[in-house]
Amino acid sequence: MVAASRSALARPYRGVFPVVPTIFHDDGSLDLEGQKRAIDFMIDAGSNGLCILANYSEQFVLSDAEREILTDLALKHVAGRVPVIVTTTHYSTAICVERCRMAEALGAAMVMIMPPYHGATIRVGEAGVYEFFKTVSDAINIPIMIQDAPVSGTPLSGEFLARMAQEIKNVSYFKIETAGAAAKLRALIAASGTGVEGPWDGEEGITLMADLDAGATGSMTGGGYPDGFRQILDPWFAGDRAKARAAYAHWLPLINWENRQCGLAAAKILMQEGGIIGSDRLRLPQRPVDVEARKGLLELARERDVLALRWGR
């Protein structure tokens, strides 16, 4: 069990902030008790903070009412033990503002937002993206993390992100998970001056070592093994790059398996196998992962003595 540092409650936030999976019963309904157990495990496993309602939380299969239930539950159950980031992405500026205000009122430390997009073709240009984030920023008093990910289909250059960091008050954290994330992190940091409080990476931490070398100070990973990511990040922050690299090499096969084979199901598979939650169900129309992919994930996790496999026993 890895202790979550109390210093993580203070800005600038840094470290591992995994995405909390949404827990369902076998019939697809919300499992709120299982949700609480997942949160408790992730904190006990060393998460410096948590992120809820992200894509890896299956936010796209949740109703607005369920989002409100889960936001309220998570923030009340965490009860200030670690900072919580609430994902509030929506194409509508007004709806995104409403979601952000609710998250702030309930105690969120930060909101994470993708640039506005819809489907495969509806996009907003730079002027519209700037106005979107400016309007949201003006409506709240907590930091905004811009999620720069391929799913939005919206090109965001490092220079444009740096401009928003410099000119928009609450835009201060960035989750970079595009191809060439390390190069973009360097460009963002170089162009922003002091505007970027948190240059972070994502994509399950698969490029974490390159991104740390580029200046990343945090990583938003999957939720199945925060204990493993602490073994990488703790020595890194202590100035021991060699130890961090060795830990990254040790955990990389499991990170790769999650990223390429099991995706957002990985955390729930590990939690269900370890007795933390009752079901690893994904909500339809998503299907369970391939049996052999599940077997391979558990094999790699057992070899690394992942806490999730014994926390609930």
pLDDT tens digits for range 7-30? 457 889 999 999 999 999 999 999
Average pLDDT over residues 52-76: 97
Q: Check residue 107 and report its DSSP letter.
A: T
According to CATH, the superfamily of the domain at 6-225 is Aldolase class I (3.20.20.70)
Average pLDDT over residues 165-171: 96
pLDDT reading at 97 higher than 70: yes
* Residue-wise pLDDT tens digits, 225-240: 999 999 999 999 999 9
Catalytic residue among 36, 175, 268, 295: 175
pLDDT, position 256 = 98
Q: What percent of the chain has pLDDT over 90?
A: 93
What mean pLDDT value characterizes the chain?
95
Going from N- to C-terminal start, the domains of the chain cover: 6-225
12 cis-preceded (ω within 30 degrees of 0): yes
Average pLDDT over residues 262-279: 97
H or E stretch covering 218? strand 218-219
Six token digits for residue 286: 């998503």
Long-range contacts of 187-195 (CB under 8 A, 24+ apart): 187/157, 187/158, 187/159, 187/162, 188/158, 188/161, 188/162, 189/214, 189/215, 190/158, 191/158, 191/159, 191/162, 191/163, 192/161, 192/162, 192/165, 192/166, 193/162, 193/166, 195/162, 195/165, 195/166
Beta partners for 118? 122
pLDDT reading at 38 higher than 90: yes
Range with the poorest average pLDDT among 94-103, 114-123, 203-212: 114-123
Cβ pair 250, 209 in contact under 8 A: no
pLDDT reading at 5 higher than 90: no
pLDDT, position 192 = 85
Question: Which string of DSSP letters, residue by residue, matches 254-279?
Answer: HHHHIIIIIGGGHHHHHHHHTTSSS-
pLDDT, position 8 = 53
pLDDT reading at 6 higher than 50: no
Catalytic status, residue 134: no
Cβ pair 16, 221 in contact under 8 A: yes
